[in-house]
Chains A and B, each alone.
Chain A
Amino acid sequence: METAARHDEEREIDARVVAQASQGDRAAFTAIVRHYEHRLRVLVYQILQDPQAMDDALQEVFAAAYSALPEFRGDAALGTWLHRITCNVCLQSLRTASRRPAMADDPLDDGDLPACEETAAVIDRAAIAAALAVLPAEQRILVLLVDRDGYDYRAAAELVGIPRGTVASRLAGARATLRARLGLGATPAEEER
């Protein structure tokens, strides 16, 4: 993958640790898990929106990573590689359970919020989480990967296993929904019109 997520570039773990872990060093692998688990935990939770499902998925992710690590050749950042596994596991989890997160009560009436810069300051986490919750999972995962985590479209397409064009269209839908719910007004493209 040519372009790793922004934070992967910034916060990659030492390659020597990866090499040790790939040879079965438990301490090294634990270090990897601890290094990446927060960002993966947040991603998994925001995708699956269920603590138990998050726990199960992370077990799956790290077990799979441990198993596959000897064949990791470092062509992509380890964080990107782990994201790929994570996306696969989450998507499989969603498919298997045919689960759709329950629609949260919308605590934010976007009609009450002016579409201005100051709006961002008053939107609380609950509102953001509620807005995310109403997105279809396939849109939610993309907006998290691209807009939050900084993956480019090609990388996100590979992570999720869909064509790039689908990434763009799903992102457009996700952004429109989130912006409407968070009172952010039109997307920049709309504002330019």
Chain B
Amino acid sequence: MNDYRDTRLGDLLRRADEAPPLATDFYDRLWTRIESERVGRRGSRTRRTSRFAGLTRTRRWSLALAAAAAAVAALVLFGFPGGDVAEKIPGGSAAQDPAAPVFRGPEPASAAEVADIVQKALRDAATIVADLYYCDYKAMHLDRPKADDNRTRLVVCADGSYRATPLERLVPAKWGDRTIDVPGIVGSDRDGDASYDATTGVRRSWGAGFDRLMVAPPGAYENENEVPLERVEAAVFVDAQEETGCDPTTGSVESMNYPVPDIGPTQFSGVVYALRASGDAALRTTTFDGRPAWIVSCPVAPQPEAPGDEAPWPNGRDGDDSLIITIDKATGLPVRSQQIAGDKVHADWCLMNLQVDVRVPEDTFTLDFPSGLYRDEPASTSTTITRIDNGFRPVTVDQVESAIGRAALVPTHVPSGYELAQVAVKQRGASPDDDAFGTTLALRYGRGFDSLAVKTQVLDPAVASRRSFIARDPFIDDSWPGSTDARTPIELTSGVFAGGRGFVVVGPLTTPHLWGVKDGMVLMVGGDASAAQLVAVANSIEEWEP
């Protein structure tokens, strides 16, 4: 394995290889402790501490995976590489369902025409409910458990709210004298359940595992340093996370064409841009999940190779890269995207059992952590809730100046149909990840599932003075597919950022976006709009006047 290492940084870090010396009584205390624990263990029923001391959470999940896989083998999908997802998914079928909705309208003839249909469908939709199936090339082509496939019940709303619940059945796990239901584990290191409520800016997730649930299959531990599960006392561990102060524009520029399993509601539109970039590419008619569909192959720019299998797309491929996109005729929504890297299927996601604008329970986007798991737990149980404040606070536009000490910078022009949906501000240093920046104002405009982000951020003077800063795409990591999409230099000509320089990026693997810098301030505009529309938005930024 030859993963990328930042050797220069590593050299520097080794220079700081110093730590306080051990206390003089360290070894005495250590042996006292060892003796004490050894005596204690003789009278203890549980040996988890000793047996699992070297286990990471991933490994524990893997143990549970092995157990779960044995029990639910009939449900788990194996032999995936290169195959048809639909045929591998319970309920999925390549045969047409006679009761499936029927497309009514003029038949599109090209990728560009079907792009219009998809875009309209996304603008009109309020809620999408589907079973998301995702598999990446690491699970397909590398020596990885097929259980790294992901299957999730997805509920997403146009306002950005979502709920993602693993499709695995709930299984009972013993918890002291109680029995609780936890998601049966099929993937390693899976989150159990995740939600984001756009109205509160709260994102929550939790995952649960267990060190013993079922008898593991023989040979499951040939290469590991632990004992078979049946010899271990049951212990449930829970990892829960709550994020508050979320950036309302998160995901606005991430595209579904980037092969990530956690697809958010603002990412569907990426398909539109891939289709548009394919112009007059021909459509084929197909059937997916029993429903009539169109399928089109969209070429994409060759993606960069990188060391090891961390490369966004597989290395050593032979042939062109492309996306094969399937669109459900009845709803006009994308239901499948296969990333083809040369001669290999690189990643594959699809939506099964698609429903649009169905009623969902009011509490769908409010995830309650399982009660009673976090207090007075046995010492052998690993539980934690991680709370993260991302620093954003919802405000009205009128409140921005008093909140961050500078006037709100807002566009006086946005593309037709967009409405201001959310406004949030973040103070300098409100989260640890971006203390190179000053205050941030984030505006999210919505148009159905279309989203448009407008962010202005004060730069730290040291950062702003770096010539290289302007060349760095603030929206997407440069290791992502899409980072190689063509960027066009721009100079903004009017508004507060007149004279500012930056870049606009439009390509099949990312949502259109631009950024520009002027006088220690960076402007980011991204979302479902053309390049010209984005530039028009950027050129219309003015100080807010009530």
**A39-74 contacts to B (CB < 8 Å):** 41-42, 44-46, 51, 54-55, 58-59, 62-68, 71-73
Which residues of B sit under 8 angstroms from A37, Cβ to Cβ? 22
Q: CA separation between A160 and B55, bound complex, in Å?
A: 9
Does B26 contact A146, Cβ atoms closer than 8 Å?
no
Q: Which of B22, B23, B227, B471 has the most CB of A within 10 A?
A: B22
- The answer to whether A42 touches B56 (Cβ under 8 A) is no
| B59 lies within 8 A of chain A by Cβ | yes
B56 touches A125 (CB 8 A): no
State whether the Cβ of B17 lies closer than 8 Å to any Cβ in chain A: yes
> What is the distance, in angstroms, from B232's C-beta to the closest C-beta of chain A?
12
Residue A35 lies at the interface, judged by CB distance under 8 Å to chain B: no
Q: What 1/0 mask marks residues of chain B from 33 to 64 whose CB sits below 8 Å from any chain A CB?
A: 11001100100000001110111111110000
Q: Is the CB of B10 within 8 A of A148?
A: yes
Question: Does B532 interact with chain A (Cβ within 8 Å)?
Answer: no
How long is the Cα–Cα vector from A60 to B60 in the complex, in angstroms?
19
Check: A161 CB closer than 8 A to any chain B CB: yes
Q: Which residues of B from 286 to 309 have beta carbons under 8 Å from A?
A: 308
In the complex, B5 has a CB within 8 A of chain A: yes
Q: Tell me whether B53 and A187 are in contact (CB under 8 A).
A: no
Interface residues on B, range: 35 or more
Q: What is the total of A-B residue contacts with beta carbons within 8 Å?
A: 199
Pairwise interchain contact A153-B50, C-beta atoms closer than 8 A: no
A75 and B18 form a contact (CB under 8 A): no
B16 touches A59 (CB 8 A): no
Once bound together, how far apart are the Cα atoms of A122 and B427, in whole Å?
Answer: 32
Q: Report whether B16 and A30 are in contact in the complex, using a CB–CB cutoff of 8 Å.
A: no
Q: Is B29 an interface residue (CB 8 A)?
A: yes
Majority SS at the chain A contact face: helix
User: Does A17 touch B at the CB level, under 8 Å?
Assistant: no
Cα distance A179–B33 when bound, in Å?
A: 41
Q: Are B22 and A55 in contact (CB under 8 A)?
A: yes
Report chain B residues within 8 Å CB of A73: 225
Q: In the bound complex, how far is the Cα of B35 from the Cα of A141, in angstroms?
A: 31
CB under 8 Å from chain A, chain B span 65-122: none
A18 in the interface (beta carbon within 8 A): no
**Assembly CA distance A5 to B310 (angstroms):** 18
Residue B375 interfacial (CB < 8 Å): no
The number of chain A residues touching the other chain, given as a range, is: 35 or more
Which chain B residue lies CB-closest to A74? B225
In the bound assembly, the distance between CA atoms of A72 and B53 in angstroms comes to 11
CB under 8 Å from chain B, chain A span 143-193: 143-144, 146-148, 150, 152-154, 157-165, 168-169, 171-173, 175, 177-180, 182, 184-190, 193
Q: Is B384 an interface residue (CB 8 A)?
A: yes
Set of chain A residues within 8 Å of B17, measured between Cβ atoms: 42, 148
Q: Answer whether residue B20 sits at the interface, using C-beta atoms and an 8 A cutoff.
A: yes
Report the stretch among B244-252, B264-272, B432-440 that lies at the interface. Answer: B432-440
Q: Is B478's CB under 8 angstroms from A88's CB?
A: no
Please name the residue on chain A nearest to B16 by beta carbon.
A128
- Of A132, A171, A180, the residue contacting B16 (CB under 8 A) is A132
State whether A132 touches B13 (Cβ < 8 A): yes
Give 10 new A-B contacts, CB below 8 A, not counting A147-B5, A158-B58.
Answer: A45-B19, A67-B37, A67-B49, A75-B224, A89-B53, A98-B387, A153-B3, A158-B59, A168-B479, A193-B471
The 13 sampled A-B contact pairs (Cβ below 8 Å) are: A54-B20, A55-B26, A62-B34, A67-B34, A71-B225, A87-B56, A95-B384, A136-B433, A146-B3, A161-B57, A163-B189, A178-B9, A190-B478
Q: 4 smallest A-B Cβ distances: which pairs?
A: A111-B462, A64-B53, A161-B57, A161-B56
Q: What is B's interface to A at a CB cutoff of 8 Å?
A: 1-3, 5-20, 22-23, 26-27, 29-31, 33-34, 37-38, 41, 49-51, 53-60, 138, 188-189, 223-227, 260, 308, 310, 382, 384, 386-387, 432-433, 435-436, 461-463, 465-466, 468, 471-472, 477-479
Which chain A residues have a beta carbon within 8 Å of chain B's beta carbons?
2-3, 26, 30, 33, 37, 41-42, 44-46, 51, 54-55, 58-59, 62-68, 71-73, 75-76, 81, 84-85, 87-89, 92, 95-96, 98, 100, 103, 109-112, 115, 120, 123, 125, 128-129, 132, 134-136, 143-144, 146-148, 150, 152-154, 157-165, 168-169, 171-173, 175, 177-180, 182, 184-190, 193
